Amino acid sequence: MIRNIRRLSRTVRNANRFREILSVFVKHGFGDLSDKLHLDKYLDMGSKYFRLPPRVAAAHLTRPERFRTALEELGPTFTKLGQMMGNRPDLLAPDWALALEKLQDSVPPFPSAEAREVVAAQFGAPVETLFTSFGELPIASASMAQVYKAELPTGEKVAVKVQRPGIEETMKVDLEIMFHIAFLLEKYVQGMDVLNPVAICEEFERTMLKELDFSLEASQMERFAQASADLAIFYVPKVYRERTGRRVLTTEFIDGLKVTNLEGLRHAGHEPGRIAGDLSNVLLHQVFNQGFFHADPHPGNILILPDRTVCFLDYGMVGSLSPTHRERLLDILVGVASQDAGRIAKTLLQLAYQPSDIVEDLEFQVGELLEAYSFVALKDFRIGEFLNRLIRLIVRNRLRMPPGFYLMLKSIVTLEGVARRLDPAFDMVESIKPFAKKAMKERMRPDRLARDMYYGALDLTPMLKEFPAQARDILGLIKRGKLRIEFQHQGLEPILKTHERMMTRLVFALVLASLIIGSSLVVLSGIPPKWYGIPVIGVVGFLSAAFVGFWLLVGIMLRKGSWK
């Protein structure tokens, strides 16, 4: 609570940015959200000095597309948020996730003079003493950083990634505002608490703080290089630690061909089909053997070196799978290969830590999915399409999978698309088979089985030791008649409230009937005092009955009576 109050106070201090964000959403047709969240006061704030932009006439765009456009206009923090949500189909409907996948992380480059100032401030020395040469123009530009080609005094050609000035402070302000909006979404929008937008913002905040620290990306690159040392077809650029810090990352400059340059690849003597196989082998090696993988293998992040070696760039987004998750992934692949819907359904429930009471319904749905592909020739099988349909099935059944699982599926889907651009006949299933077979053999090794049994016995030993004492205590309670069993009822509160409301209205109805009957008897009896010949007590009784009846009627119609 204290954290939320502190965030709110800082959000108020950044009211101008808050108003700018809301204005952009209103401009793109999301004024209804402002009404639902009671944010009109922020739009009105400073209206004497600022004019709200007119609403964009974009009738040809769908609501998800307008949302994507708004995020792009709001800058890098919101663009990154949209990209993260696009990678989490469990959070969004398919059309929204598809729209966010098209987010463009591109902004105008910032002046190179500012980049030099960032480098100098990072290392406490001018650029001229740190590098023999430093490019006048960036060779790549994105929302968070720019990349320059440079040369070290030792003669090595390097790529220097420089963080955009002021980006950290801008993102911190935007994150504070995001948390406040997420809190209002949970408070005012019905059903939004199921998605838990505050938790989504917390996950996004952790991710962004990591991406802002380039020294962490350098550590990731070194980790990949060490784990892939025996993989001859994969190369990780060397990191120069003495020229790397929180806001600057210096790596070996890679001079290679873009993976989409088919003409250049053929001219260099490379076969696109073999490169497609190498790409899949690299990613599958990372998934099955390492347990951590490059989570953004889009064409712009892949270069092919002269010796046909694959080189991934930009290690800011990395996914990881625990050994248990890799075991579950293997079970899913075995289930697909054997057309075993039951195995797949049970594995999905284990991944989501869900009870098995829905396993039959889930098994039926998985069976329908498998049946749709049962007559498809292997060469025509698109694993990306299959995985996308499996993701929709998972989302439809509200199964909460580990974030790394979605990143892994998205990486495979993305890489299959890149590989098919290289070779339309590329078969990802054939690429997966050897890795799955190797993992299955590894699982069935005698020493592995013995080790699993040994650790299982270790886990069971404390329970066996405690069981006799616990059983003796339970028998003692039964013997003394002090054993208590507590039941917890769930879901009764709405029923009890409805019953209480009905009884209250029934009592009011009885009181109303009593007033009418009593007042009628008083009027007929002619008991004084009288008003125009009618007993005053009877008139008061009729008026009271009218008031109670009107109150009861309004309460029933509006369901806002004081008896709730």
Question: What DSSP assignment string belongs to 382-412?
Answer: -HHHHHHHHHHHHHHTT----HHHHHHHHHH
pLDDT digits (tens, 9 = 90+) for 21-59: 888 888 888 877 766 776 665 555 544 444 445 555 455
Q: Which of 415, 406, 409, 411 is nearest to 88 (CA)?
A: 406
For residue 189, what are the contacts with CB-CB under 8 A and spacing of at least 6?
A: 36, 37
Tokens of 374: 């049962």
C-alpha separations of 80 from 167, 203, 260, 299 in Å: 13, 12, 24, 18
**Cα–Cα distance between 176 and 178 in angstroms, integer?**
5
259 with 418: CB under 8 angstroms?
A: yes
From the list 174, 278, 296, 314, the catalytic residue is 296
Residues of the chain under the 70 pLDDT cut: 1-13, 34-35, 38-59, 87-91, 104-107, 191-195, 353-357, 376-380, 448-449, 451-452, 454-460, 486-494, 532, 557-564
**Rounded (5°) CA angle 537-538-541:** 90
- Whether 40 sits among the annotated catalytic residues: the reply is no
Q: How distant, in Å, are the alpha carbons of 280, 305, 368, 383, 413 from that of 298?
A: 13, 17, 31, 17, 10
DSSP 25-39: HHHTT-HHHHHHTT-
State residue 90's pLDDT score.
63
Q: How far is CA 129 from CA 132, 243, 342, in A?
A: 7, 12, 65
Beta bridge partners of 257: 304
Per-residue pLDDT at 200: 79
CA atoms 34, 39, 42, 47: torsion sign:
positive
Where helices occur in 423-445 by DSSP H, the ranges are 428-443
- 269 within 8 A of 390, measured Cβ to Cβ: no
pTM: 0.70
Looking at residue 52, the DSSP 8-state letter turns out to be P
- Phi and psi torsions of 86, nearest 5°: -65, -25
How far from each other are the two terminal CA atoms of the chain, in whole angstroms? 29
The answer to whether 104 touches 118, Cβ cutoff 8 Å, is no
Q: Work out the number of other CB atoms within 10 angstroms of the CB of residue 516.
A: 17
What Cα–Cα distance (Å) separates residue 534 from each residue in 103, 423, 526, 530?
79, 100, 7, 5
Q: Would you state the pLDDT for residue 92?
A: 72
